[in-house]
Amino acid sequence: MTENKNTPFQIGEVTIPGRVIFAPMAGVSDLPFRLLCHEQGASLVCMEMISAKAITYNNARTADLMETSPAEAPVSLQLFGCEPETMTRACRMIEDRTFDILDINMGCPVHKVVANGEGSALMKNPSLIEKMVAAAVEGTSRPVTVKIRRGFEEGSDNAVECALAAQQGGASAVAVHGRTRAQMYSGKADWTCIARVKEALDIPVIGNGDIVDGPSALRMMEETGCDAVMIARAARGNPWIFREVTSYLTDRTIPERPARRVIVGMIMRHARMLCECKGERIGIREMRSHAAQYLTGFPSAARVRNMIVKVSTLRELEQILKKEYPYAAQ
């Protein structure tokens, strides 16, 4: 009998109904897209990373990023920072917010984050990792998780040391991206570091990096022993990947890819949700890049993308899709 790999598991006291997680991505994992990914089968969805320091300053933009919906639960709120006292204070200030898990970003490779000693820069100082996790645990009633990378640079593969520090600080789970900070998002992810972290820890380990379909997700779980898989860039323009991966992990079946009619319908639905959430001006501007991803594999996609990057209203987007793909825009 085929083993079901998509069973529920625990992160602290929170039950995660399956093993497929939508990763936090700046500018991508906002409320509308999280809802779509949850609907398609993501077992846990994660918010865009939020500055702990900005929370303590009562930044209005930060408050918008923390908006959630009951329809997406369970949901993880991700903070970044490098000052334990600030982390505790920020956690206390958001204690009445609606979310299930609090995650600390220790994997972001972006220069402006790393230059402040935040994100993946924390991997250069495992003792600080322990302090940061302990500070968050002190400030919140939710389970605290951590997202790290293989290491900061080539030759400094210290994911196990950093993961152990997080566990010692009180983390309830650790997600590991199999690339170093120096790699950014290029090259191949090294899954062996995920296996080493899994062997060393007593808490759940989530594997991340190069999961693009059901077979790659299953292969990661079998090769590393990780408790769950986290999907990031492969979900852009493709929320159906969660349906596909959960199906494959459950019984090794692969659902049919959505028809172009369904994809075009999703583009418009996603656009309407963004406009409702953020207003048409901002919503359509942000939808441009999403739409470009959805159109991968469509005929004349490059030309249509060049048109879409100029749209400023929902009606313009709809008119372009109806004109270019009339057989799909029903």
Question: What is the distance between the alpha carbons of residues 299 and 290, in angstroms, rounded to a whole number?
Answer: 17
Question: What is the distance between the alpha carbons of residues 172 and 176, in angstroms, rounded to a whole number?
Answer: 14
Count of positions (residues) in the chain = 330
74: preceding bond cis by omega (within 30 degrees):
yes
């639905």: which residue's tokens? 269
> How far is the CA of 296 from the CAs of 1, 79, 234, 263, in angstroms?
36, 32, 12, 10
Retrieve residue 63's tokens.
């408050």
Question: What is the distance between the alpha carbons of residues 224 and 120, in angstroms, rounded to a whole number?
Answer: 22
β-pairing verdict for 101-105 and 144-151: parallel
Question: What is the distance between the alpha carbons of residues 154 and 180, in angstroms, rounded to a whole number?
Answer: 7
Retrieve residue 157's tokens.
């593969």
> How far is the CA of 172 from the CAs of 8, 137, 188, 222, 327, in angstroms?
16, 10, 28, 22, 49
Quick one: which H or E segment has residue 314? helix 314-324
Nearest C-alpha neighbor of 101 from the set 51, 7, 163, 172: 172
Q: Which long-range contacts (CB under 8 A, 24 or more apart) does 62-66 make?
A: 65/30, 66/94, 66/97, 66/99
Q: What residues form DSSP beta bridges with 80?
A: 51
193 is catalytic: no
Q: Which of 108, 162, 193, 275 is catalytic?
A: 108
Q: Which residues are catalytically annotated? A: 108
